[in-house]
């Protein structure tokens, strides 16, 4: 597009929404035209940018949304449902990092790919997208090598292994023509016996303020290959989502992936 991409953010007052807003002030690729928060939010009606008495204010829905090109959604299942409804009704592209959705909404999103351009990811780090691609290639090139995935996060993280570690595991398993459900070993304790051939092991570290670290270790006889990504700033996820949104604007209807973004330049 020769003009700025007209953008809306769903979940604008959340952690990711706030990170996106902090970047948009200096990003000439975009024009933010709508910012949606949950119904009843204290932000409703307030200026989106502090000290700005202009017309852009937080909204609790889509009824007053102007014409736009892309919606970025980091809200929740309910917010994503409303954003999807709006995108389908107006033929707009949708980028979403919302997780924890049910099977019915998953099915709706899959079906919507025939009508609008959709890009979803659990992790919008472009570096992780490259890591996933490299691991997929390495898993094919080194089919007999053992594979271990090690991840580290801050001590407040609730789930283990991380969603990103599981995405890496799924990618490697598919590249080796199996499934992660069949290959994963998520814990080892006591007399475990020898390593199961073809398994994908996971190790978890929790502590301090680690933003996120993922290492895929492929181990052969007499040599080892390590592919690693370390995040030091949470803004990388917002940067990746913006890159995805800019890339997605004007694309044909389909279920796109972050891997498509890093593979194709505009």
Does residue 54 surpass a pLDDT of 80?
Answer: no
Q: What is the mean pLDDT of residues 102-122?
A: 96
Q: What is the mean pLDDT of the chain?
A: 94
Does residue 52 surpass a pLDDT of 80?
Answer: no
Does residue 266 surpass a pLDDT of 60?
Answer: no
Nearest-CA neighbor of 105 among 81, 122, 82? 81
Nearest-CA neighbor of 255 among 78, 93, 79, 75? 93
pLDDT in tens, 119-130: 999 889 999 999
DSSP three-state, residue 134: helix
Q: What is the mean pLDDT of residues 45-68?
A: 86
pLDDT of res. 100: 81
User: Binning pLDDT at 50, 70 and 90, where does residue 265 land?
Assistant: low
Identify whether 157 is a catalytic site residue: yes
Distance between CA 18 and CA 70 in Å, rounded?
17
Does residue 82 surpass a pLDDT of 70?
Answer: yes
Contact by Cβ (8 Å): 70, 93 = yes
Catalytic: which of 34, 153, 170, 229? 153
Distance between CA 12 and CA 45 in Å, rounded?
13
Does residue 218 surpass a pLDDT of 80?
Answer: yes
- Percent of the chain at pLDDT above 70? 97
Contact by Cβ (8 Å): 91, 116 = yes
Q: Alpha carbon of 201 to those of 85, 142, 147: distances in Å?
A: 40, 16, 7
pLDDT of res. 25: 85
DSSP single-letter state for residue 251? P
Does residue 50 surpass a pLDDT of 80?
Answer: no
Does residue 1 surpass a pLDDT of 90?
Answer: no
Identify whether 153 is a catalytic site residue: yes
Q: What is the mean pLDDT of residues 151-175?
A: 94
Q: Indicate whether this model's pTM tops 0.75.
A: yes
pLDDT in tens, 8-34: 999 999 989 999 999 998 899 999 999
Structural domains of the chain, with CATH: 5-124+235-263 (3.40.50.720), 126-231 (3.30.360.10)
Say if residue 90 is preceded by a cis peptide, omega within 30 of 0. Answer: no
User: Binning pLDDT at 50, 70 and 90, where does residue 201 land?
Assistant: very high
Q: What is the mean pLDDT of residues 70-84?
A: 96
pLDDT of res. 260: 94
Q: What is the DSSP string of 85-110?
A: HHHHHHT-EEEE------HHHHHHHH
pLDDT of res. 220: 98
């Amino acid at each position: 597009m020769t003009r700025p991409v007209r953008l809306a953010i769903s979940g604008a007052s959340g952690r990711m929404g706030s990170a996106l807003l902090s970047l948009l002030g200096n990003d000439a690729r975009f024009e933010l035209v709508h910012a949606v928060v949950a119904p009843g939010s204290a932000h409703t009606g307030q200026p989106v940018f502090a000290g700005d008495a202009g017309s852009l204010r937080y909204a609790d829905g889509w009824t007053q949304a102007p014409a736009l090109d892309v919606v970025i959604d980091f809200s929740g299942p309910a917010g994503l449902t409303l954003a999807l409804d709006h995108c389908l009704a107006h033929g707009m592209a949708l980028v979403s990092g919302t997780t924890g959705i049910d099977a019915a909404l998953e099915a709706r999103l899959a079906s919507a790919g025939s009508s609008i351009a959709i890009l979803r990811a659990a992790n919008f780090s472009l570096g992780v997208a490259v890591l996933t691609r490299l691991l997929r290639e390495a898993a094919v090139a080194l089919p007999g090598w053992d594979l271990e995935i090690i991840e580290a996060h801050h001590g407040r993280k609730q789930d283990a292994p991380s969603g990103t570690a599981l995405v890496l595991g799924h990618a490697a398993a598919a590249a080796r023509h199996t499934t992660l459900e069949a290959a994963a070993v998520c814990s080892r304790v006591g007399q475990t016996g020898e390593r199961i051939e073809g398994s994908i092991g996971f190790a978890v570290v929790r502590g301090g303020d680690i933003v996120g670290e993922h290492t895929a270790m492929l181990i052969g006889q007499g040599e080892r290959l390590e592919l690693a990504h370390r995040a030091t700033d949470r803004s990388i996820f917002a940067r990746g989502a913006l890159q995805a949104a800019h890339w997605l604007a004007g694309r044909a209807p389909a279920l796109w992936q972050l891997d498509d973004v890093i593979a194709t330049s505009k």
